């Protein structure tokens, strides 16, 4: 909306302004605390040698990579494949963002209520279904909007669940592992955007949803290869308490 009203550069100016405001609020409201003892980088990376850690992080890579393959090209996809009018594009993206917020909150609730495996597999299965439906539904604004809502909701329901899941894998190194997960998230989004670009150039724009669905499916396979351990869950609860 800002880009349409004030030009695309205004978006970056707005982000910078809100970033400065956030820095001031954080400085004034969050109490000063001593940081934890630093862990050498090589010691952090040594965690990757553990099979369960490597598989656990691969879940993040394929889940978010599959999402990024389609999401990076969402605007041209909606305009040319789904048939959404340019006047409704901002509304579609706004609804998509709100759905991601709701999905993230639900993911945390679902993890507490039904557990990690059910939340991850259920959310990713719905994620795959919505990507496939988006590829076959066009020229129906209501249907496309409904698919976008469920896609964003299901995709981001996996976020808090995966973070908790990783914390249970190595409870005593949960801080380091969650840091590695953040790095993996950035890597997967970059890889997804790159793979999506190749798909658009070599295959078609319409192919990004199918390729993205395959990526998320691989994440489900990784989840099944690494069942959640109840003993690990008890251990992480003990560490944090």
14, 43: one domain: no
63, 10: one domain: no
How far apart CA 86 and CA 90 sit, in angstroms, is 8
For residue range 36-64, list pLDDT tens digits in order.
777 787 877 888 889 999 999 999 999 99
112, 183: one domain: yes
Q: Are 110 and 157 in contact (CB under 8 A)?
A: yes
Q: What is the pLDDT of residue 240?
A: 47
> 């190595």: which residue's tokens?
170
Note down the domain range covering 166.
39-240
Provide the token pair at 84.
């959404």
Q: What is the pLDDT of residue 220?
A: 97
**Secondary structure of the chain: what % helix, strand, coil (to 5)?**
85, 0, 15
116, 61: one domain: yes
Per-residue pLDDT at 94 exceeds 90: yes
Per-residue pLDDT at 238 exceeds 50: no
pLDDT range class, residue 227, cuts 50, 70, 90: low
Considering its fold, how many domains does the chain have in total? 2
117, 202: one domain: yes
Q: Are 231 and 238 in contact (CB under 8 A)?
A: no
Per-residue pLDDT at 162 exceeds 60: yes
Per-residue pLDDT at 111 exceeds 80: yes
Per-residue pLDDT at 192 exceeds 70: yes
pLDDT average, residue stretch 192-217: 97
pLDDT average, residue stretch 4-17: 92
pLDDT range class, residue 104, cuts 50, 70, 90: very high
The domain that holds 54 is classified in CATH as: 1.20.1250.20
Provide the token pair at 14.
């707005």
Per-residue pLDDT at 14 exceeds 70: yes
pLDDT average, residue stretch 174-190: 93
pTM higher than 0.95: no
pLDDT average, residue stretch 98-116: 96
Q: Are 3 and 10 in contact (CB under 8 A)?
A: yes
Nearest of 22, 74, 56, 14 to residue 209 by alpha carbon? 74
Provide the token pair at 122.
């259920």
Per-residue pLDDT at 229 exceeds 60: no
Provide the token pair at 63.
């889940």
């Amino acid at each position: 909306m800002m880009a349409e009203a004030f030009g695309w550069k205004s978006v970056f100016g707005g982000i910078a302004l809100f970033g400065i405001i956030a820095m001031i609020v954080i400085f004034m409201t969050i109490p000063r605390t001593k940081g934890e003892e630093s862990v050498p980088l090589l010691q952090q990376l040594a965690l990757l040698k553990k099979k369960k850690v490597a598989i656990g992080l691969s879940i993040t890579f394929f889940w978010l990579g599959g999402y990024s393959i389609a999401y990076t090209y969402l605007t041209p996809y909606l305009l040319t494949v789904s048939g959404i009018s340019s006047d409704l594009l901002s509304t579609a993206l706004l609804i998509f963002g709100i759905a991601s917020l709701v999905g993230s909150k639900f993911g945390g609730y679902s993890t507490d209520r039904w557990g990690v495996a059910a939340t991850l597999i259920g959310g990713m299965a719905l994620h795959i279904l919505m990507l496939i439906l988006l590829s076959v539904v066009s020229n129906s604004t209501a249907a496309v909007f409904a698919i976008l809502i469920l896609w964003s909701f299901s995709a981001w329901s996996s976020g808090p669940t995966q973070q908790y899941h990783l914390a249970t894998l190595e409870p005593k190194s949960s801080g380091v592992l969650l840091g590695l997960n953040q790095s993996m998230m950035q890597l997967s989004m970059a890889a997804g955007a790159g793979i999506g670009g190749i798909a658009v150039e070599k295959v078609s724009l319409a192919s990004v949803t199918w390729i993205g669905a395959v990526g998320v499916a691989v994440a489900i396979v990784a989840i099944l290869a690494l069942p959640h351990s109840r003993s690990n869950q008890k251990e992480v609860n003990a560490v944090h308490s």
